[in-house]
Amino acid sequence: MQNKTLPQLDDLYKEIILEHYRNPHGREPLSKVNYQAEGMNPLCGDEVKLTLQLDSENDKKIEKVHIEGHGCSISVASGSMLADILKGKTIAEAKEISKYLKEIMHDKINDTEIDIGDLEALCGVKKFPVRIKCALLPWTTFEEALLGHEHVEIS
Ligand code: ZN
């Protein structure tokens, strides 16, 4: 697999991102599809296909996320982190995390009030405006899937 250049990030963050890129999470098939969307970031060539399975006893809770991504290390890593962090969250919590990540990326907030796990490694990307789209692609695709939009193109 091709690893497009990674911006100058702290070594620790780079390591976390590359680890997700080499071994992405959320690739296991789901037994049920509740929401699904495909997202594209033509600027970089990133593509992501996201599927959500809700808890069979609680349709407000995400049981599992399946995600397949192709593209740069940032977009693939972000999708892998999304699969980890959204598993077991309620839809409301998941939307909150997504909104929060966007605010961090667009420099509206700095301190981390919510535990975002490995996603923290992605926050350094905000210094590189072109790569913000890569990092946010899986999250935008997630939000659009909830809205019933199956094809998402960010520009
Ligand atoms: Zn990208």
45 CA distance to ligand 1 middle (Å): 6
Segment 81-104, tens digit of pLDDT: 999 999 999 999 999 999 999 999
Q: Do the domain assignments include residue 155?
A: no
The answer as to whether 3 is a domain residue is no
Q: Are 2 and 13 in contact (CB under 8 A)?
A: no
Q: How many domains does the chain have?
A: 1
* pLDDT over 90, % of the chain: 78
- Under the banding of pLDDT at 50, 70 and 90, the label for residue 8 is confident
Q: 3-class SS at 64?
A: strand
Cα 149 to ligand 1 centroid, rounded to whole Å:
21
Residue 148 has pLDDT above 50, yes or no: yes
Q: 137 CA to middle of ligand 1, Å?
A: 8
The rounded Å distance from CA 136 to ligand 1 centre is 10
* Inside any domain, residue 136: yes
Q: Find the 60 Cα to ligand 1 centroid distance in Å.
A: 31
Q: Give dist(CA 153, CA 37) in Å, integer.
A: 11
| Range of the structural domain that residue 96 is part of | 11-150
Average confidence (pLDDT) over 37-48: 97
Say what the pLDDT of residue 51 is: 98
* Cβ 104 vs Cβ 123: under 8 Å: yes
CATH code of residue 43: 3.90.1010.10
pLDDT beyond 80 at 112:
no
More confident residue, 5 or 130: 130
| Summary mean pLDDT of the chain | 92
Cα-to-centroid distance, 91 and ligand 1 (Å): 26
Given a cut of 60, is residue 121 above it in pLDDT?
Answer: yes
CA of 47 to the centre of ligand 1 (A): 9
Q: Is position 2 within any domain?
A: no
Question: What residues flank ion ligand 1 with Cβ within 5 A?
Answer: 44, 46, 71-72, 75, 134
